[in-house]
A and B are shown apart, each in its own frame.
Chain A
Amino acid sequence: MLKIDNIVVRYPGHAKPVLNGFTLQVAPGERVAIIGPSGAGKTTLFRTISGFLPLAAGRITVDGSSVNASQRAALRAVRKQVAVISQGHDLVDRLSVYQNVMAGALGRWSAARALRFLMWPRRQELEQARAALARVGLPDKLRARTSDLSGGQHQRVAIARAIVQEPKLLLADEPIASLDPALSEQILTLLCGLAREGNIALLCSLHQHQFAAKHFDRIIELGHA
């Protein structure tokens, strides 16, 4: 599903690459954890896979199509297949929860439909959002304000958005960084359950070894490059 082949990634203006010759393959339904200290390049890796950072060398393909940050149309097609959940802060605060959840469908929707949905959501769209929220255990938060959510709820709404996106690859960047152990357990169970049921490839970065060992098929250590 995901093939990363010997990639080199540099931030503009920095000579030293953050990732240098990194290679990885993830099969459909496989759950892979990436472990490493802060600054090891986990976030960089995820941003590169979703096409926010250019490749200095190497190649990334998702389901056979290659990720190329400079080709917008092709990149959009790839991004539709890849759902991203990050450390928080990636929901739009002033939208309500169902609007944030249905944002997962934006890759499939025309701009006109997006606008119409914001003003007049249809019942089946609301039902879809409710179903996704039910899977993450928040069916009653459909019309809540996003800014009123707690940290754990925030993360679960982000997962609900990923569900609506129906991805083939799920990237979770430190999804439990700011959560307590009980909540962390819940979130990881949820993510791994999703991957198994939907045959989705899951790539998840973590700090904690014990969680990684418990939930994931494979663990990759990412040290200082």
Chain B
Amino acid sequence: MNAALALIAGFFPPDLGLSYLGAAVGPVLQTMGMAMGGMLIAIVVGLPLAMIIGSRVRGARVLYGALTGIRAVPDLTLAILCVVVFGLGPAAGMLALAIFYTAMVGKVFADLFMAADPRPIEALYATGASRISVSIFGLVPLAVKDLLSLGCYSLECAVRAAVIVGAVGGGGLGTELVGTLNGFQFHRAATIIIILILLVGSIDSLSWILRRAPKFVFMLLPLGLVSLWVYRPQFFAFGHAVSTIGAMFPPQLPSSAVGEIPRLIGETILIAAGGTAFAVVAAIPLGICSARNIVPNGVASAVRLALETLRAVPEVVWGLILVTVVGVGPVAGVFALAIHTAGVLGKLYAESFENVECDAVHAIEATGAGKLATVLFAIIPLGSGAAAINTLFRFEWNLRAATVVGMIGAGGIGQALYNAQQLFFYNQMMAYVLITWGIVLFAEWLSTLTRRRYGWMSAI
């Protein structure tokens, strides 16, 4: 325990010397570039895919299934595959992000389009318009508002993900962070984490501005284009890619490994469940303390800042740190997920409490109830529905994240996947990818079922 504290003490003070900050400029640019370029591709490719699905052509279902499938592959696995195909460096990271977020943008908007009121669309068809024109007139306007908020949200996620893919050779801050941690230069790792928090924070403020003045979103376009050009793939080893991907099929496991699968799956589910459970325990008081209709504004802002800090650092980065500090194993994984998830859920809980209907709250207040009674009898019960959906969504997300933190040493199916990949047993790796895929899709199905059963709507 003392040793762990000593290690944590090693993170302070962060190395804020000019020479190191100067050295960090390159990685920051690479990370931002990967995120911007990846998102640009994702939107340019993902939106038309969503329109194709939304206009319900033949084969739309297959396309939709493919997007769901890609989304279920952990981003770290995609990054590893992209490093194999496109060589080391930011190009691989950018393309991994592009693939992952194309699937995400495509799926989210396809859902949006399919849920859209069919009558206006039919009215447009009735004018004799072609399918493309109908998509442009009937679907794109539906997407504009959400495109902006989703775009900002996913740019923030993409920056975090860019750090994650960096950890396996995609370059940028992730590579730098792994390096500093492996080299036990914790004061520099602390610098990288501070930079990451600031980056995510500034994107948050950027999205705040963009929501008020959406025109400025076009300013991001040149940034995206520059990133695309600078980090374009310099290598495209087609033959190598074909033979490597060929080596993954047929997926196969040695008999000794097959017996291990239930234990590995159990460990992964445990990491996800443990991480989510601890996070919920921490997030409830944090959420209450950052809801502006419950506590004074000053307190709420301070707690919210703390939550933002927890949230800005992705699970994998907490994982990398914890693996170094408390050692490899599921405990590191559970806490890595718990810390990040507490930040995410705390913020979402606060929003659910703030968004409760005023009438009902006023009704309770009208009985002469005090502040605390109002919180307990109105605000929390009213907000708990939305909070429950968010928790469920987060658990689903954490199953995927548990696989990813597994790869960096937390154990479970992710670790097995990573070991197989490191030893070049690609057919085994593919078998583990398929198992992961099955777990994630199963969780998605289960959560959709639960939400439908309780009549909960989609929260995001």
CB-nearest residue of chain B to A94: B141
A84–B124 Cα distance when bound, in Å, is 9
Query: Does B129 count as interface, using CB distance less than 8 angstroms?
Result: yes
B137 touches A106 (CB 8 A): yes
Question: Contacts A86-B119, A90-B122, A118-B140 known; A79 to B127 CB distance under 8 Å?
Answer: yes
B137 touches A76 (CB 8 A): no
Could you tell me the distance in whole angstroms from the C-beta of A166 to the nearest C-beta in chain B?
11
Q: Which of A78, A86, A89, A103 contacts B124 (CB 8 A)?
A: A103
B127 touches A80 (CB 8 A): yes
Query: Does A216 count as interface, using CB distance less than 8 angstroms?
Result: no
A118 touches B137 (CB 8 A): yes
A4–B435 Cα distance when bound, in Å, is 58
- Bitwise, B131-174 to A at CB < 8 A (1) or not (0) is 01110111011101100000000000000000000000000000
Q: Which B residues lie within 8 Å of A114 (CB)? A: 129, 132-133, 136-137
Residue of B122, B124, B129 with most partner-chain A CB within 10 A: B129
B137 touches A90 (CB 8 A): no
A174–B127 Cα distance when bound, in Å, is 18
- Bitwise, B205-232 to A at CB < 8 A (1) or not (0) is 0000000000000000000000000000
Could you tell me the distance in whole angstroms from the C-beta of A86 to the nearest C-beta in chain B?
7
A50 touches B126 (CB 8 A): yes
Q: Which B residues lie within 8 Å of A92 (CB)? A: 120, 124, 137-138, 141-142
Could you tell me the distance in whole angstroms from the C-beta of B149 to the nearest C-beta in chain A?
14
- Bitwise, A74-98 to B at CB < 8 A (1) or not (0) is 0011111111101001111111000
**Residues of A within 8 Å of B, CB-based: how many?**
34
B127 touches A165 (CB 8 A): yes
A87–B122 Cα distance when bound, in Å, is 13
A111 touches B133 (CB 8 A): yes
Which of under 10, 10 to 19, 20 to 34, or 35 or more describes the interface residues of B? 20 to 34
A188–B139 Cα distance when bound, in Å, is 31
A148–B177 Cα distance when bound, in Å, is 52
Could you tell me the distance in whole angstroms from the C-beta of A78 to the nearest C-beta in chain B?
7
Could you tell me the distance in whole angstroms from the C-beta of A18 to the nearest C-beta in chain B?
17
Question: Contacts A118-B137, A118-B140 known; A94 to B145 CB distance under 8 Å?
Answer: yes
CB-nearest residue of chain B to A47: B122
Q: Which B residues lie within 8 Å of A83 (CB)? A: 126-127
Question: Contacts A106-B137, A118-B136 known; A94 to B129 CB distance under 8 Å?
Answer: no
Q: Which B residues lie within 8 Å of A118 (CB)? A: 136-137, 140
Could you tell me the distance in whole angstroms from the C-beta of A77 to the nearest C-beta in chain B?
7
Query: Does B278 count as interface, using CB distance less than 8 angstroms?
Result: no
B136 touches A95 (CB 8 A): no
CB-nearest residue of chain A to B142: A94
Query: Does A109 count as interface, using CB distance less than 8 angstroms?
Result: yes
A92–B134 Cα distance when bound, in Å, is 11
Q: Which B residues lie within 8 Å of A81 (CB)? A: 128
Residue of B119, B122, B137, B142 with most partner-chain A CB within 10 A: B137
Q: Which A residues lie within 8 Å of B140 (CB)? A: 118
B122 touches A52 (CB 8 A): yes
Within 8 A of B (CB), among A46-60: 50, 52
Could you tell me the distance in whole angstroms from the C-beta of A115 to the nearest C-beta in chain B?
5
Q: Which A residues lie within 8 Å of B130 (CB)? A: 76, 106, 111
Query: Does A107 count as interface, using CB distance less than 8 angstroms?
Result: yes
Residue of B123, B127, B141 with most partner-chain A CB within 10 A: B127
A106 touches B122 (CB 8 A): no
A52–B132 Cα distance when bound, in Å, is 18
A95 touches B141 (CB 8 A): yes
- Bitwise, B378-390 to A at CB < 8 A (1) or not (0) is 0000000000000
A219–B12 Cα distance when bound, in Å, is 87
Query: Does A104 count as interface, using CB distance less than 8 angstroms?
Result: yes
Could you tell me the distance in whole angstroms from the C-beta of A109 to the nearest C-beta in chain B?
6
Within 8 A of B (CB), among A81-136: 81-84, 86, 89-95, 99, 103-107, 109-111, 114-115, 118
Residues of B within 8 A of A (CB): 117, 119-120, 122-130, 132-134, 136-138, 140-142, 144-145
Residues of A within 8 A of B (CB): 50, 52, 76-84, 86, 89-95, 99, 103-107, 109-111, 114-115, 118, 158, 161, 165
Nearest first, the 5 closest Cβ-Cβ pairs linking A and B are A107-B128, A106-B129, A79-B128, A80-B128, A90-B123
